[in-house]
Amino acid sequence: MTTKTNDAPWVRVVPLGGLGEIGKNMMVLETVDDIVVIDAGVLFPEWNMPGIDVVIPDMDYLDENADRVRALLITHGHEDHIGAVPHFLKRVNVPVYAPAMAEALIQEKLRQARMREHSEVRIVHPGEQHEIGDLKIEWFAQCHSVPDSTGIAIDTPAGVVIHTGDFKIDNAPVIGNPTDLGVLADICQDGALLLMADSTYAEEEGYSPSDREVVDNLPNLIGAAKDRVIISSFASQIARIQIVADACVKHNRKLCVLGRSMINNTKIGRELGHLDIPGDLIVTAAEAKSLPDDKVLILTTGSQGEPQSGLVRMSRNDHRDITIQDNDTIIMSASTIPGNEVPVNESINDLVRLGARVITNHETRTHVPGHARKEELRMLLNATRPKYFVPVHGEYRMLKAHIDLAISTGVKEENAFLLIDGDVLELDPDSGEVVDRIEAGHIFVHGLGIWNESGNVVVERRSLQHNGVVSVAFSRDTVDGSLVGKPKIVSVGFVHTEDSEELLREAEDALSPILDQHLKKAIEWGELEGIVRNTVGSFLGRRTKRRPLIITSAIDV
Amino acid sequence: MTTKTNDAPWVRVVPLGGLGEIGKNMMVLETVDDIVVIDAGVLFPEWNMPGIDVVIPDMDYLDENADRVRALLITHGHEDHIGAVPHFLKRVNVPVYAPAMAEALIQEKLRQARMREHSEVRIVHPGEQHEIGDLKIEWFAQCHSVPDSTGIAIDTPAGVVIHTGDFKIDNAPVIGNPTDLGVLADICQDGALLLMADSTYAEEEGYSPSDREVVDNLPNLIGAAKDRVIISSFASQIARIQIVADACVKHNRKLCVLGRSMINNTKIGRELGHLDIPGDLIVTAAEAKSLPDDKVLILTTGSQGEPQSGLVRMSRNDHRDITIQDNDTIIMSASTIPGNEVPVNESINDLVRLGARVITNHETRTHVPGHARKEELRMLLNATRPKYFVPVHGEYRMLKAHIDLAISTGVKEENAFLLIDGDVLELDPDSGEVVDRIEAGHIFVHGLGIWNESGNVVVERRSLQHNGVVSVAFSRDTVDGSLVGKPKIVSVGFVHTEDSEELLREAEDALSPILDQHLKKAIEWGELEGIVRNTVGSFLGRRTKRRPLIITSAIDV
């Protein structure tokens, strides 16, 4: 790797692992002596990654520099920031520093992965300073849609680097203190060297609405409902759980919490003191069933149409405890994450079909997002006065909007860097430059399988799903390699069974003499496979106008 | 089929073919002597129908009653209303009545299907009455997002039936006359027997915005652009083409139309006199390239992220004629149809990455939808005063909202019917009842293959895309059925190639003795297949935590 030639102390940042969203899941910060990693999250697969469970960042760069990696620093407890912590610690076992809520969620992951004993996770609080290697690191409180969200200020030999984490500026959050821009301005009293800031809503004008709007609307909707109320939300939205619990007290309903993550997060929220819920408010599903409908509120998961979630099971009428009935009021206290529109819509239609009334965020504000809009981002830029700027957490279009905004707020054009994953940006007080590009692919996780995106599995699955597969098998003589018997062709997902029998028999007849002829020539396997593929593929293509994927097996007899 | 017992004349309606959207693609109207069919459209496959080209209604019911089918009546020229006309005419060759724009588009479809000579398509105009069997049929003008949109009034022995087609009420459309509610009120002077009305926007409050908003905004955006402008829209939105052409004249740009459907529709629009474009305004792609950037506007397809469309090819940098460059202004003059969010978003990110500025309908109103909202639907109900009401064209939640609205406007609850595809609703002046339910599935079209949804092809593809496929082949002795050689196992889309070799060899070794043992017993093929599936499936499941689809072939040698 090259480095710039002057002798000034430098700092490098390398975003990793965000699929379309740059630096979303992991950010590497590096000086000559030390590396710290900010966040280790997962992404959920996109539509063109069939059968993949989760996607994690490629961490080979950390392996190669393991002797300098000092710590994993966590900003907040969302899956896209902590979901890959076990994978990370298997590669580089260093201490993890995390705010309280994130720490509790990470411990649960490590327990499931049977890694708790060999891992060190330290709780950090806003305002604390930790010396890690030669770096001085301070976490500062941020408002976001999970409690104990933080940003991180890192004092490096080259200057102060600010990473906002995910954030918005809310002057009256339901849980926690309002955003303290004063602290941030104090840390950046000489101007930050580098600001890396959340870009998710950088295309949106104005200020983001406050959670207070939900505090007004949700209880009103609950109060107006005559029969049973079912609310679905994000499990990590602890403030939403508090709002719902308060509304239950006010409107004399018992609260029944369903869904593994919702139950788990409610428990953690209470343990950490974020939730203030009277002990007798919460009832089990069995108790809820024995109460009159107008005395019950059910809080569950499934706002994103996840197939195994509470609300989606209810919509399919296969939830163990709850059967949707006429006059149920269902409130979707969430917005739909882009990409989930189809399953969310499907579940709403199913719920309406079962007799429920469904209220979404489109009708009445039942949710506010947790990301800063343009005015808040300007405010942040003004408070930190960075020399260099790197937008993070957002698709390319959002990063571009954020760059434009930073430049209009005073960052010099040559000091604003729209990085892509793997770019190594080196900065010193004088100048900044992308000095290298490292391998920064994505690792696909499926069951126990882990492979990188250059692997053929996902490509093959894409092909399979469109045209199905045809298997061609034949026997050849172990001695002279000649064809024994007839080749056998079967298909799956290609043509309708009734039509396929005759078609495939004809394909066998077409292939047989060609195969026989080439087997006698003792050609290479790859060439032979190609001939089978062309012969069978052309035959089927002519007859069906579709080309299935063709796999060939030879049995030596 | 049962019918109601009194002697009053009756009329039946049967919605067909809308997937989640009831009666979207086809509506059958039936009296004792006559059947007419309203629209014959296609739907595009949903996410869980991999590899399907289009979905068409199941038309078996029409086959069975072919002697009474008199005509196909078309409301307007959108694919979801005319796309299945060739399929329909192959089943029932009756005259097609269609308004001018739809007729031109249908003729093109019939030409491609080589069916023009044997098909009869008659142009109808609003206000004309046609006697078809014992039915008197009048088309009335509607505003919608394609010119020559109509609704249909059918005077049956039981009373007047109104089918709105797709519509909105626009008092100042860019092309055509404003909605004439007077005509409709006149037709329904004694009150309609039945109103079937578009429900697409029945959940939205208020009135839909007029196309006039786009007439203001689009030219302003074009005027403000400094370099090249590229606009993507729906090809059938002829009014949008006119607005763009007018803006080109005003801002001194030449218009370059790209994309097969955009070129074709512009041609039809000019031939029918809907478009008024000066002859020298339009230039070819080659001519456009020789002009300064600020003298060119490119109008193309691709607003829905369709992989083969103009804009998406440009976003991938593989368009034959156009290379996106810095400072291109791209205007998406369309809204994103639900389900297309992910590909649309992907193309926008790619365009921004190539240096373009992209303006969407979210930022500035560059598009208005063509469907009536609640206030317009109320207006329609007041003008037609129907005894019976059937919401059509919409997902279940929208139909339910429309039913609620109709009841609040005065339709009796027992006279408002939320039908699903295949329901046979029989009405007479006294009462209405769903008297039967016919087979009303969907037919999947893929290349030359056509099969119904109960077929296994789509189910198999869903399985293939998630876990891939494993092929098991073995040879057996033609005389005694015993295993010859070793079984051969290969996989596609299952595990990464590097990992799979050893795993599959081990699976072969595990299978071999079990297969040998069962082959000696000469059991049935189905049972043997089951044993192979269980043996190999359990082995691979234990080792990978995933269960691929398994196909088995036997070669007799």
- For residue B187, CA distances in Å to B90, B155, B168, B192 come to 34, 9, 19, 8
Contact check, Cβ <8 Å, A484/B557: yes
Q: Is the pLDDT of residue A166 over 70?
A: yes
Q: Of the candidates B137, B145, B136, which has an alpha carbon nearest to the alpha carbon of residue B166?
A: B145
Per the CB < 8 A criterion, the answer to whether B434 and B419 are in contact is yes
According to DSSP, the residues that pair with A129 across neighbouring strands are: A138
List chain A domain ranges. 11-206+369-446, 212-359, 457-556
Note the pLDDT of residue B22: 73
B525 at A interface, C-beta within 8 A: no
The residue length of chain B stands at: 557
- For residue B407, CA distances in Å to B189, B198, B410 come to 20, 16, 5
A400 at B interface, C-beta within 8 A: yes
Note the pLDDT of residue A6: 60
Note the pLDDT of residue B322: 95
Q: Residue B545: list chain A partners with CB under 8 A.
A: 447-448
Question: For residue A67, what are the contacts with CB-CB under 8 A and spacing of at least 6?
Answer: none
Distance (Å, whole) CA B215 – CA B446? 40
A474 at B interface, C-beta within 8 A: yes
Tokens 């009014």 sit at which residue?
B239
Mean pLDDT (whole number) for B529-547 = 87
pLDDT above 70 coverage of chain B, percent? 94
Contact check, Cβ <8 Å, B493/A468: no
Mean pLDDT (whole number) for B186-197 = 96
Contact check, Cβ <8 Å, A495/B545: no
A198 in catalytic set: yes
3-state secondary structure A495-542: CCHHHHHHHHHHHHHHHHHHHHHHHHCCCCHHHHHHHHHHHHHHHHHH
CATH topology identical between A11-206+369-446 and A457-556 = no
Residue range A426-439, pLDDT digits in tens: 999 999 999 999 88
Of A14-28, A413-427, B326-340, give the lowest mean pLDDT range.
A14-28
Q: Residue B460: list chain A partners with CB under 8 A.
A: 468, 492-493
Mean pLDDT (whole number) for B172-201 = 90
A355 at B interface, C-beta within 8 A: no
Q: Is the pLDDT of residue A497 over 70?
A: no
Per the CB < 8 A criterion, the answer to whether B230 and B328 are in contact is yes
Q: Is the pLDDT of residue B455 over 60?
A: no
Look up residue A107 and give its two tokens: 């411990």
Note the pLDDT of residue A491: 85
Question: Under DSSP, is residue B172 helix (H, G, I), strand (E, B) or coil?
Answer: coil
Smallest Cβ–Cβ distance between B555 and the set A493, A499, A555 belongs to A555
Local confidence band at B177 (pLDDT 50, 70, 90 cut-offs)? confident
Distance (Å, whole) CA A429 – CA B207? 57
Residue range A385-422, pLDDT digits in tens: 999 999 999 999 999 999 999 999 999 999 999 998 89
Question: Under DSSP, is residue A373 helix (H, G, I), strand (E, B) or coil?
Answer: coil
Q: Nearest chain A Cα to B543, which residue?
A: A448
Tokens 């006279």 sit at which residue?
B415
The active-site residue out of B371, B393, B402, B442 is B371
Instruction: For the full predicted model, state whether its pTM sits above 0.90.
Output: no
Q: Which amino acid is at A238?
A: I
Does the domain made of B468-556 have the CATH classification 3.10.20.580? yes
Q: Is the pLDDT of residue A455 over 60?
A: no
For residue A375, the surrounding DSSP H or E stretch is helix A374-384
Mean pLDDT (whole number) for B317-343 = 93
A526 at B interface, C-beta within 8 A: no
- Chain A nearest-CA distance from B330, in A, is 13
Q: Residue A339: list chain B partners with CB under 8 A.
A: 341-342
Note the pLDDT of residue A447: 65
According to DSSP, the residues that pair with B194 across neighbouring strands are: B161, B388
Residue range B198-233, pLDDT digits in tens: 999 999 999 998 888 899 999 999 999 999 999 999
Per the CB < 8 A criterion, the answer to whether A25 and A6 are in contact is no
Buried b (16+ CB within 10 A) or exposed e, A485-494: bbbbbbbbbb
Distance (Å, whole) CA A321 – CA A301? 14
Look up residue B466 and give its two tokens: 């998630």
Note the pLDDT of residue B447: 65
Local confidence band at A464 (pLDDT 50, 70, 90 cut-offs)? confident
Mean pLDDT (whole number) for B426-447 = 87
Q: Nearest chain B Cα to A556, which residue?
A: B485
CATH of domain A11-206+369-446: 3.60.15.10
Look up residue A515 and give its two tokens: 């195969």
- B interface mutation test: which of A200, A373, A400, A469 has the most B CBs within 10 A? A469
What is chain A's mean pLDDT, rounded? 90
Q: Of the candidates B25, B26, B2, which has an alpha carbon nearest to the alpha carbon of residue B13?
A: B26
Note the pLDDT of residue A215: 92
Mean pLDDT (whole number) for A75-103 = 95
Note the pLDDT of residue A384: 96
Question: For residue B250, what are the contacts with CB-CB under 8 A and spacing of at least 6?
Answer: B219, B223
Q: Nearest chain A Cα to B204, which residue?
A: A363
The CATH architecture one would assign to domain B11-206+369-452 is 4-Layer Sandwich (3.60)
Note the pLDDT of residue B410: 95
B471 at A interface, C-beta within 8 A: yes
Local confidence band at B448 (pLDDT 50, 70, 90 cut-offs)? low
Local confidence band at B480 (pLDDT 50, 70, 90 cut-offs)? confident
Q: Which amino acid is at B423?
A: D
Note the pLDDT of residue B450: 62
Note the pLDDT of residue B4: 54
Count of C-beta atoms within a 10 Å radius of residue A60: 16
The residue that leads in pLDDT, A80 or B444, is: A80
Q: Which amino acid is at B324?
A: I
The number of C-beta contacts closer than 8 angstroms across A and B is 214
Half-sphere exposure of A331 (CA within 13 A, CB side): 26
Distance (Å, whole) CA A383 – CA A182? 8
Mean pLDDT (whole number) for B534-546 = 86
Mean pLDDT (whole number) for B518-542 = 88
Note the pLDDT of residue B2: 54
Residue range A327-368, pLDDT digits in tens: 999 999 999 988 888 889 999 999 999 999 999 999 899 999
- CA dihedral (A272, A273, A275, A279) positive or negative: positive
- For residue B99, CA distances in Å to A542, B35, B107, B115 come to 38, 20, 12, 19
B396 at A interface, C-beta within 8 A: yes
Q: Of the candidates B497, B495, B482, B470, which has an alpha carbon nearest to the alpha carbon of residue B553?
A: B470
Of A306-315, B19-28, B293-302, give the lowest mean pLDDT range.
B19-28
Mean pLDDT (whole number) for A160-164 = 97
* Strands A135-141, A129-132: pairing kind: antiparallel
pLDDT above 90 coverage of chain B, percent? 70
Distance (Å, whole) CA B97 – CA B143? 19
The residue that leads in pLDDT, B458 or B375, is: B375
Q: Is the pLDDT of residue B254 over 70?
A: yes
Note the pLDDT of residue B126: 94
Smallest Cβ–Cβ distance between A447 and the set B462, B473, B544 belongs to B544
From chain A residues 12-51, the ones with a CB under 8 A of any chain B CB are: 20, 46-47, 50-51
Note the pLDDT of residue B244: 97
- Chain A nearest-CA distance from B461, in A, is 5
Mean pLDDT (whole number) for B292-298 = 98
Per the CB < 8 A criterion, the answer to whether B34 and B48 are in contact is no
Per the CB < 8 A criterion, the answer to whether A382 and A374 are in contact is no
Q: Nearest chain B Cα to A21, which residue?
A: B349
Contact check, Cβ <8 Å, B471/A553: yes
For residue A435, the surrounding DSSP H or E stretch is strand A432-437
Q: Of the candidates B276, B274, B227, B230, which has an alpha carbon nearest to the alpha carbon of residue B256?
A: B230
A481 at B interface, C-beta within 8 A: no
- B interface mutation test: which of A48, A373, A446, A453 has the most B CBs within 10 A? A446
Note the pLDDT of residue A500: 79
* Strands A549-556, A469-476: pairing kind: parallel
A471 at B interface, C-beta within 8 A: yes
Count of C-beta atoms within a 10 Å radius of residue B164: 25
Q: Residue A54: list chain B partners with CB under 8 A.
A: none
> At residue B430, what are phi and psi to the nearest 5 degrees?
-90, -45
Question: Under DSSP, is residue B32 helix (H, G, I), strand (E, B) or coil?
Answer: coil
B496 in catalytic set: no
The CATH architecture one would assign to domain A212-359 is 3-Layer(aba) Sandwich (3.40)
Smallest Cβ–Cβ distance between A553 and the set B465, B488, B544 belongs to B488
For residue A131, the surrounding DSSP H or E stretch is strand A129-132
From chain B residues 85-104, the ones with a CB under 8 A of any chain A CB are: none
Does the domain made of A457-556 have the CATH classification 3.40.50.2300? no
Per the CB < 8 A criterion, the answer to whether A444 and A457 are in contact is yes
Local confidence band at B6 (pLDDT 50, 70, 90 cut-offs)? low
Per the CB < 8 A criterion, the answer to whether B324 and B315 are in contact is yes
Instruction: Find the helix packing angle between B396-408 and A341-353, rounded to 10°.
Output: 50
- Angle (CA) B140-B146-B151 rounded to 5° is 20
A512 at B interface, C-beta within 8 A: no
Mean pLDDT (whole number) for A266-293 = 96
Q: Is the pLDDT of residue B46 over 90?
A: no
- Chain A nearest-CA distance from B526, in A, is 14
Contact check, Cβ <8 Å, B492/A551: yes
Note the pLDDT of residue B361: 93
Local confidence band at A557 (pLDDT 50, 70, 90 cut-offs)? confident
Tokens 């981002």 sit at which residue?
A377
Q: Residue B555: list chain A partners with CB under 8 A.
A: 473-475, 484-488, 555
